[in-house]
Amino acid sequence: MKILVCGLPDTGKTYLTERIIKHLDNVCWFNADKVREMVNDWDFSDKGRMRQSERMKTFADFESKHGRIVICDFVAPTNRTRDLFDADFKIWMNTHTKSKYENTNKIFEEPSDCNIVIRKYLSDDEILDVIGVIKIFIEKQKNKKID
């Protein structure tokens, strides 16, 4: 299973993901900044953003195929980058409408097919509610495979 936490820079993607992974078993986390640092690729052109989405998908698919729950947090600014990643569950961090990166603001497309949209920074209790929704989704997916 692949979970995408997407949104503009500085919306709280990593903060939320750090809290989610503490409550799930057999989970793997890929943070876009860490992945870009690892491969030394800081290209934010359209081509570079697609390459990053493909890279995140490759890592996530590998871990998912080996039975792990995978959470990736990255901007995924366009429908094309999100579609390419092909998440099973999407969280859109919509805590603000502009970032400090004008080039990202210009191309960012609001996702329309998210499982959860977060419009404000969450309290610990609200984060636990989000985790509960994710756990229910995971259980439903497991039950589908059994049926």
Residue ranges and CATH numbers for the domains of the chain are 2-146 (3.40.50.300)
Amino acid (one-letter) located at 82: R
Please give the pLDDT value at position 143. Answer: 86
Q: pLDDT in tens for each of the 147 residues of the chain?
A: 999 999 999 999 999 999 999 999 999 999 999 999 999 999 999 999 999 999 999 999 999 999 999 999 999 999 999 999 999 999 999 999 999 999 999 999 999 899 999 999 999 999 999 999 999 999 999 888 765
Q: Check residue 147 and give its pLDDT.
A: 58
The pLDDT value recorded for residue 34 is: 97
How far is 76 from 83, CA to CA, in rounded Å? 9
**C-alpha distance from residue 45 to each of 18, 23, 107, 114, 133 (Å):** 28, 35, 10, 25, 35
CB 116 within 8 A of CB 20: no
With b for 16 or more beta-carbon neighbours within 10 A and e for fewer, the 105-141 pattern comes to: eeebeebeebbbebeeebeeeebeebbeebeebbeee
End-to-end CA distance of the chain: 17
The span from the CA of 111 to the CA of 117, in Å, is 9
